[in-house]
């Protein structure tokens, strides 16, 4: 491999690696509510994003496959560059480490910070290419999912699935942070908080009635 070709492979692999990392972080950090709202208004990209938010597993699996392939290509290109620059052992080690640092910084750290800062807009902008990528790699993803499911059944006796539930504490924290950022008005946040308090009081009342053998709902109906 020539020095020029190695440099081109390193740049392309780093660029694609950066794109994948930014798409991954943007999908995780994007707002489901905003995406659904834009989808209802007719946005094709928002509809694609909503579909991906509902089925993130296949996209993440496709990203992992491509990320590993690009890391291998980047490492191979860095080694080729090292051989083309110098014949000294420590010189090759130094050039290879520079290539690794270049890929890690510009291919992972920078795009992740960028995507976290512009999660909603970047997720919508890249949703259609991401959907196409997921469809293109679906046979490989399904095969890997089959192997992973078989392995989990062999070890744990069942297929492991990630939970997607949100607890009351997480909802309250989300409302609080939204009010601080101005996404939700203080009056709306206070109203939502009162709904939680009302539910807690009703639960405590029903629990107390069950403990003493009293049904408050029947007594109220009488």
Confidence band (pLDDT; 50, 70, 90) for 172?
A: low
Name the average pLDDT for the chain: 76
Residue 199 confidence (pLDDT) above 70: no
pLDDT at 210: 47
Q: How far apart are CA 84 and CA 5, in angstroms?
A: 11
Residue 175 confidence (pLDDT) above 60: yes
Structure tokens at 172: 């309250």
Residue 97 or residue 212, greater confidence: 97
pLDDT at 62: 84
pLDDT at 15: 93
**Is the Cβ–Cβ distance between 80 and 156 less than 8 Å?**
no
- Say how many Å lie between the first and final Cα of the chain, rounded: 88
> Mean pLDDT over residues 161-180, rounded?
60
Model's pTM, two decimal places? 0.64
The per-residue pLDDT for range 10-56, each reduced to its tens digit, is 899 999 999 999 998 988 888 888 888 888 888 899 998 888 888 77
Residue 85 confidence (pLDDT) above 60: yes
Q: How far apart are CA 46 and CA 36, in angstroms?
A: 7
Residue 38 or residue 219, greater confidence: 38
Structure tokens at 24: 């991954």
The phi-psi region of residue 42 (left if phi > 0; otherwise alpha if psi is between -120 and 50; otherwise beta) is: left
> Mean pLDDT over residues 118-124, rounded?
90
Q: Is 188 helix (H, G, I), strand (E, B) or coil?
A: helix
DSSP label at 165?
Answer: -
pLDDT at 184: 57
């Amino acid at each position: 491999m020539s020095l020029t070709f190695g440099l081109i492979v390193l740049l392309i692999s780093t660029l694609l690696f950066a794109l994948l990392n930014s798409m991954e972080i943007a999908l995780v950090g994007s707002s489901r509510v905003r995406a659904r709202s834009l989808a209802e208004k007719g946005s094709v990209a928002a509809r694609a994003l909503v579909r991906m938010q509902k089925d993130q597993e296949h996209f993440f699996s496709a990203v992992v496959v491509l990320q590993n392939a690009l890391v291998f290509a980047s490492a191979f290109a860095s080694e080729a560059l090292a051989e083309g620059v110098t014949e000294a052992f420590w010189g090759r080690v130094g050039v290879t480490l520079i290539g690794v640092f270049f890929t890690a910084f510009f291919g992972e750290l920078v795009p992740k910070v960028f995507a976290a800062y512009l999660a909603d807009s970047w997720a919508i902008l890249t949703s259609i290419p991401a959907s196409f990528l997921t469809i293109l790699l679906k046979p490989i993803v399904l095969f890997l999912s089959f192997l992973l499911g078989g392995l989990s059944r062999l070890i744990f006796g069942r297929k492991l699935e990630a939970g997607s539930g949100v607890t009351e504490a997480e909802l309250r924290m989300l409302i609080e942070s939204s009010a601080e950022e101005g996404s939700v008005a203080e009056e709306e946040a206070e109203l939502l908080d009162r709904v939680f308090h009302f539910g807690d009081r009703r639960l405590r009342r029903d629990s107390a009635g069950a403990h003493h053998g009293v049904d408050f709902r029947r007594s109220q109906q009488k």
